[in-house]
Structure 1
């Protein structure tokens, strides 16, 4: 904790300096608010719209949590399955890679046609975004288990289940949480983008309405809160990582 405090003052000063330059630049060059609002204008706008913005934020968080949970569960499950069956991994893995080359903007209309205008298409998009990094990271973690330890446990008569639960899974947890942290950050952004495609509530809807009416300060409010949500989600996963991987605490720091 002390180390974090000692190293965090540099980025804090850099952010404060950036905000000051931004504020003074908008005033000196008399930049119109609808083009680039000053930070003070954004703060005042945030105070004004926060009560109306709160339901949109809750809607986005709900979708993200559902989609992220589904993507995480399926990702870890698929990685475990591919780890135990080599031929299945050789067959399926290329399709996993190809699935990430399909742009969301192309896939989204198809999901809207197949599943309608409800929450289902958005949850699927978020789950797909979370699924790939978690699957790849988990599979990589399983494969990086020390071969000598595996050989030793086999010599001791350990079954495949014991080998997996006692050795491979614990050693893969750091890699698993690395994938989860990446997916957690992407899931918030994906949730907002998915709401652009059609929704009644959500940060994406709020942002679309604000940009279409040239209320740029409100767009910045949505951007800032989205960033804060992503950082908060990342911090939550980091906290869970510290709880579950106490034996690896020094590496996590």
Structure 2
């Protein structure tokens, strides 16, 4: 029997085979829809043309993700420890996500120029919300029986937070990080569309304007790869940091 983990690979390979066959059978022009082999050839042969774009986007994505995740974590902790402020600001937190980034981005360029600041702000706005909301829910859903037990044992609010609430909110925190990791790449590409001189977003724009659809798909391919790599790294960090919960469950 095939392992369940191999099923997605089989589906993806099957889709690529169908795509390749359709491109050849119906002789679809390359500028309309290039075959997977054409895209792969361009990805290999054109590495020198876009490698600096990838490294630029990677650097921007990591910086924005770290900043956004940090802001989300701080907001979650502050709103959890100060319930009155949470009641006042939580609706604004939700409303901040109702503004399309693609609409807000030009305003950030007007206010902060074409430097790295508006780009980091865009990624931060994209990344902080999943982390903040997930962390707030994790902190609020701490087992109240354990909280009462620690209070009866004489624990302070600081001890309850650091030794009980924070550790038990880590699974939700990592869930938010995984969502933000994929969003961070998207935010970096959107920010590069606004006025950068290098990056995957710039490479994609240049390829699209010159009808090099194969290069557009190469850009999409590397965006997907970066998202999957970030997601996998956070899953690894989650597995390491939450190892105590696994060991607890085995006992």
TM-score tier by shorter-chain length is: over 0.9
* 1:61 maps onto 2:54 in alignment: no
1:207-249 deviations in Å (ceiling 9; x for gaps): 0000000000000000011001000000000000011110233
Instruction: Map 1:1-253 to 2 at 5 A.
Output: 6-249=3-246
Q: How many residues align?
A: 248
Quote the RMSD (CA, aligned, Å). Answer: 1.5
TM-score, normalisation: structure 1: 0.95
Q: Per-residue displacement from partner, 1:140-185 (whole Å, max 9, x unpaired)?
A: 0000100000000000000111101100000000000000000001
Q: What displacement does 1:250 show?
A: 8.2
Deviation beyond 6 Å, 4+ runs, structure 1 = none
CA distance in 2, matches of 1:187, 1:178: 14
Question: Equivalents in 2 of 1:113, 1:18: separation in Å?
Answer: 43
Structure 2: give runs of 5+ residues left out of the alignment: none
Deviation larger for 28-37 or 59-68: 59-68
Residue 55 of structure 1: how far off its partner (Å) = 0.6
Distance 2:67 2:82 in 1: 23
Q: Which runs of 5+ in 1 are unaligned?
A: none
